[in-house]
Each structure stands twice: as C-alpha cells, then as structure tokens.
Amino acid sequence: MLEFSSAITFTFIVYLVLMLGIGLWAYRSSNNSSGYFLGGRSLGPWPAALSAGASDMSGWLLLGLPGFAFASGIEAVWLGGGLLAGTWLNWLLVARRLRTYTYSANDSLTIPEFFANRFGDYHHLLQAVAAFFILLFFLFYTSAGLVAGGKLFETVFGLDYRMAVLFGTLCVVSYTLFGGFLAVSWTDLVQGLLMAAALLIVPVWAMQADGGPGAMLAALEQNNPQLLTLWQDRDGQPLSIIAILSLLAWGLGYFGQPHILARFAGIRSEADVPMARRIAVTWSGLSMAGAILVGLAGVVYVDNHLGGQLADAETIFIVLVNALFHPLVAGILLAAILAAIMSTADSQLLVSSSALAEDFYKRLLRKDAGQTEVVLIGRLAVVILASVALLLAFNPDSTVLGLVGYAWAGFGAAFGPVLLLSLYWRRMNWTGAIAGVVTGGITVVAWKQLSGGLFDLYEIVPGIIFASFAIVVCSLATVAPSAAVRDRFDRFQAALREA
C-alpha cells in the first residue's frame, strides 16, 4: 500500500508541476484584460475543441457518469446521447456566430458584456444581472469540482475529506491565478487527451479481467437484466416520459454555459470552427461511451471481487484503477480525474472572476479602471470565489452529479435562450433579454424546490420554455430596438458573411 501511495503521489506531483509550468508560460500573455480573460482570441482548433470539452465534462465525466451507469445501467445512454447531441448543435449553431459577433460588438470579453453591447445596455443593468447569475450558479458548479477532488484524494490517499478538498482547491487556483485563459485552455488540451485515454483504457482492461465483453454482458444479464434495457430502470419499472426527457434535456444546457462559450469567443478564426467541431464531437462521443462502459464493467467487477458492495457509486472509476493497474500506471490514470476536475474548476473560476472584474467592478464601480487594475481584481476574484466554493464543498454528503445538474440547468435556462435568439433574431430587444435571463434563472431555482408529478421533470426544461416565452412576449410587447441596435445587428450579419 505504501508503494502504491508513493507511486501515485510521485505521478500527481509531476502532473501538477507540468500544469503550473504551463500557467507560468501563459503569464507573459496575460497582463491585459483581453489576454487574461480571452487569451487574445488565439486558440487553434485543437485547444479550442478539447478545452471546451474538458471544461464542459469535469470530474462528472470520470465520477458522476460512471457512477450513474453503475447504478442505472444502459439508462445512462439517454443522458450521454442528449449531451452528445447538445455538443454538436452548440458548435454548429453558436460557435461561429459568437466568435464573429463578440469581436464585432466592441471586442466583448464576457457573455454579459456581449449582451450589453448587443442590446445597447448603456446603464449596464442587463450586464449586472447576467453577471449575478454567473456568480450564483458557478459557485455550485465549482463546488462540484472540489467535491470530486475531495473524493479522489480521500479515496486514494485516505486523507480527511475536508483536507482533501482544500488541497484540490489550492492545485486549481495556483495556475489559474497566473496564466488566465491561455493557461486554462492549454492545460485543458493536455487534460482532455488524458481523460479520453483513461476512459478508453480502464473499461477495456476491466472487461478483460473478467473474461471479456461477452462475459461482462452475460454477468450483467445474470446479475440484473434490467441494467441492459433502455426502457426500464434497474428495478424493472418502465422509464416515464418525464425521466427520459429529463435525461435527454441535459443537452439543452450547452447553449448557455459561459465557460464553454468563452472558447467559442476565443478561437483564432471562424475558419477553424468546422475542424474544432469535428474534434469536439469525436472526443465527447468516445469519452462518454468509455464512461458508461466503466460503470457497467464496474458492476461485474464489484459483484465478482467485492461482494457486490460499494459505498459510493461515484468512486467506481477509482476502485477499478486501484485494483487493476500497476501503481505507476494507476497514478497516471487517476491523474485523469484530477485533470477533469481542474479543467472545469479553472474555467469556472476564470469566467466568474471576469464577471466580477469586467461586469461589476469596471462597469459599475470603477469605469475609469485601467487594464492592469482590472486584471489584478480578476486575480483577487479567483481567490475569493474559490474560497466561497470551498466552503460549499465541505459537505461530504454532496454528490458531483447533483451539484452539476443544478448549475447546468441554471446556466442553460438563464443564458441559452437569450444567447441563441440574440444571435439570430433582429427584433429582440433589451427588455426581452433581461426578461429571459431573470425568468430562466428564477424558474430553475423555484422548480428545484418542488417535487412530484410534473415537477420531477429536470428543471432546465421549464426554465428554457418560460425564458423563451418571456423573451418573445416582452420583445414584441415593447418598443422595437433602436436604429443603432438594429444597425449593429446588421453589421454582425455582414461580418459573418465576410468571415
């Protein structure tokens, strides 16, 4: 056990030094707002695609999704399929337009700033409201990553849960603080490749350890045939329409995730988008398929070797790696979990800090603030926000999937409809935009508190429906956008045609 722990510790240290080195390298390009918050719009298709994917999936991909597949079986395909479709549609419908429009809209660095420039939000009320919801939901999202880190270090090293969460937080804050967007994006490229490799290797190795894919299917059939059906849960009860729609609806959340949308805005050129889309969809499909197979192979392994008992389903990936691989290989594979956690938490901290520095501090408190001052506030915001998220993550009963689901729904409903319609609908105005953000965000918060019947539907669905309705009704019921706003939208369209 000592040899195992020492080998993994060595691997983790090497990995963290590499990530910090990338952060220090990126520091030289992060001394102004554009460089720190958007990397100077210099991402090629590979870092843009894998950074979007890695920051999207987080520790959820190696803990939450395998845990769900372990507990629910093939039912997890509904969730993975919805997410894969959402990935493809987001790159297809949003990426190119957002890259062009944010640049044309006075080089907008954040989503709230884009909304302000798109709709002539001269008093910055819409920008402030959007930034508020970013801070609210990212606290839960970042906490999910820190919970995942706590489970990793607690399970592998036997650390106290709270000490494990604290250590993981320090790891993430270190390179985000120095390198900003470029550090986050290039570390995400490394981390995305590591995550995909781990999710393809572990289930194959686990299946071979128990006799191969055929033996795994036979064992699952003998254990519980309901694990292999799409239309029933593991207890043999038919999946309701609400349950299926709730799983598929995760894909709707992509259109409103600020940490993913930032990659679209930061891509080097509109011409890079098609290649980036193919890379992102391929990576997501392979990774989610591997995650589901980890859960299914884990059911057989736990039955055969652990008496069918596992205290926490979300640790199944860690359990398989610990049991099946040499300590050095296990260290590399477990570093993939750390990679997944860091790749999302760093992105969330950066977007949240940009909301505080650009959308609150610069626009509302210090309109004459220089770029050096704004970057300094952004770096301080990283530390402050990480500290608050750390306090939320100290509850050891928190689940990664539960925290991610709430934050994902919040962003998807508050920003998804507003962003999509702002990119495609000329008649949309400021009133409709602010109504959409507020309605979507409040609906998610309120729906989450209710249960039973229709209220069991994943809160992102009513959030998106009500937000879209509010945007259309409020835009049509109030005065049309000003000539300046309409002309700005026409310039966006012209820039898109020229791109």
Taking only the tens place, the pLDDT of each residue in 316-366 is: 998 999 888 888 888 888 877 776 676 667 667 777 777 777 777 777 666
pLDDT in tens, 298-315: 999 999 888 878 888 888
Note whether 79 and 73 are within 8 A (CB): no
Query: What CA–CA distance (Å, rounded) separates 163 from 435?
Result: 42
pLDDT-derived band at 40 (thresholds 50, 70, 90) equals low
Query: What CA–CA distance (Å, rounded) separates 467 from 111?
Result: 17
Give the residue-averaged pLDDT of 122-149.
82
pLDDT-derived band at 224 (thresholds 50, 70, 90) equals confident
Strand ranges (E), 43-164 = none
**Helix, strand, coil fractions of the chain, as percent rounded to 5:** 85, 0, 15
pLDDT value of position 340: 67
Helix (H, G, I), strand (E, B) or coil at 267: strand
pLDDT in tens, 244-284: 999 999 999 999 998 889 889 889 888 899 999 999 999 99
Query: What CA–CA distance (Å, rounded) separates 172 from 271?
Result: 32
Query: What CA–CA distance (Å, rounded) separates 82 from 366?
Result: 43
Cα angle 32-34-35, degrees, rounded to a multiple of 5: 65
Query: What percent of the chain is predicted at pLDDT more than 70?
Result: 87
Query: What percent of the chain is predicted at pLDDT more than 90?
Result: 38
* Torsion over CA: 342, 347, 350, 353 (sign): negative
pLDDT in tens, 448-475: 999 888 999 999 999 999 999 999 999 9
Q: What are phi and psi of 43, to 5 degrees?
A: -75, 130
Query: What CA–CA distance (Å, rounded) separates 214 from 491?
Result: 58
Q: What is the DSSP letter of 387?
A: H
Give the residue-averaged pLDDT of 358-383.
73
Note whether 142 and 150 are within 8 A (CB): no
Integer-rounded Cα radius of gyration of the chain: 22
CATH 1.20.1730.10 fits 2-399, yes or no: yes
Note whether 8 and 153 are within 8 A (CB): no
